[in-house]
Amino acid sequence: MSTSVELHQQDFYQVLASLIPSELKKLGHLTVEDNLGGQLSPSTLVNESGLGADSYDRMVLAGMVNQMFHIFESGIEDNLLRAKTLQDWASLVAQSWAFYSEEITFFTSGSTGTPKPCHHRFSNLIREAEFIRSLFPNTTRIVALVPSHHIYGFLWTVLLPKVMTVPVVYGQDWSANRLKKELQPHDLIVSFPLHWDYLLRSGLVIDPAFQVQGVCSTGPCASELVDALLEKGLSGMTEIYGSSETGGIGYRHHPESPYSLFPYWQPQDEALLDLENSNRDPLPLPDIVRWTSERMFEILRRRDHAVQVGGVNVFPERVAQVIRELDFVEDCAVRLMEHPQGNRLKTLIVLKEGQEPTDGIRKTLHEWIQTQLTPPERPKSITFSNQLERNALGKITEWSTL
């Protein structure tokens, strides 16, 4: 039996304050800080003088909010376009949630195309939070360093504090020094690989006596990074494996260990069965995995050939196709840099016969990348070569970025 979890208007405001700047950025807007000269607040107007959102933008945003919280089930979705402030929107979501709270929809964070909606039973999310609680019995507070409108952030920074009955503080914009000052004994820090790396490089030091635990998701966390964080005082790091479609699937306490399957999942070929919902169809695993035992597994590779850049799915082949559109490019390859190089893409470019990597070509290439690719897609290392070297199996070999 799942714990009864009540969400309130402030919870919905927190999610909206995370969702809306993200969606405005996708619509080509400046950041909220650049546009408003400060942070969002409940009184921020949902118009051009507030969010900088025109009538088209408001319709897009209202549609996302409507779909995420299933406001159409309550029949009050038209009020979203009449609302004046973010607080009004949060109030409408709360009213709708009181009528219908069985489902919630999250969206994939891919860098291309329309984000895919992923529907979840709210009771299943509570079930996941209840299991997570058992992994951290000594936690007295959650420190949220992730956006709360994606499924990972929602589970860990909105639901989990309620299931654990512990407070949550939001510190996405905190520096490493601010985080160090704010930490308390038995805190649980919720973040993602790129941000953990930023904190480490920014001089994060944690008092070992505080027994602070860390959580990481959205992509694999390099063992060197985890070891370095443990040396800086972190008591332990737990990685969560899952997806927007499935929610959490497995967990591990060290990058070199296999993942343990969450207790309500049952493997079936290349999919998962929900043991507590036998009438539901199997959910495909997002990656190719190897089962080391009945309930433990290792991840081999992604099925969709995406890679993670800052918690966003990007597709190297799609990036390569964009670069190949330039009339002076013969071919190119795109890959993810390997730790400790960084967590961004790199590209190896072969120019057409007679072309040289002149300043003019480099300038045109840079402008093309800036205008045609999203920030996570943009390669941060560009290498020119006479050809793409391939191995005996025809696969492009690794190249140096020096």
Question: Mean pLDDT of successive 10-residue segments in the chain (402 residues)?
Answer: 80 94 75 58 87 88 96 95 95 97 86 72 96 96 94 96 96 93 97 89 96 90 92 97 93 93 92 84 88 93 74 84 93 81 84 92 94 91 86 62 62
Determine the pLDDT at residue 48. Answer: 84
Q: Kindly report the number of other CB atoms within 10 A of residue 393's CB atom.
A: 5
Which residue bears the tokens 């990348």? Answer: 369
Which residue bears the tokens 């343990």? Answer: 260
Tens of pLDDT, residue by residue over 197-225, are 889 999 999 999 999 999 998 777 889 99
Q: Which residues are CB-contacts of 155 (< 8 A; sequence separation ≥ 6)?
A: 125, 128, 129, 132, 247, 248
Determine the pLDDT at residue 225. Answer: 92
State how far the Cα of 297 lies from the Cα of 204, in Å rounded to an integer: 32
Q: Which residues are CB-contacts of 393 (< 8 A; sequence separation ≥ 6)?
A: none
Determine the pLDDT at residue 393. Answer: 39
Tens of pLDDT, residue by residue over 9-51, are 999 999 999 999 888 877 776 555 555 545 788 999 888 888 8
Determine the pLDDT at residue 69. Answer: 98
State how far the Cα of 191 lies from the Cα of 218, in Å rounded to an integer: 9
Q: Kindly report the number of other CB atoms within 10 A of residue 78's CB atom.
A: 11
Task: Tell whether pTM > 0.85.
Answer: no
State how far the Cα of 11 lies from the Cα of 101, in Å rounded to an integer: 14
**Tokens at residue 297, please?**
């597994």
Determine the pLDDT at residue 395. Answer: 59
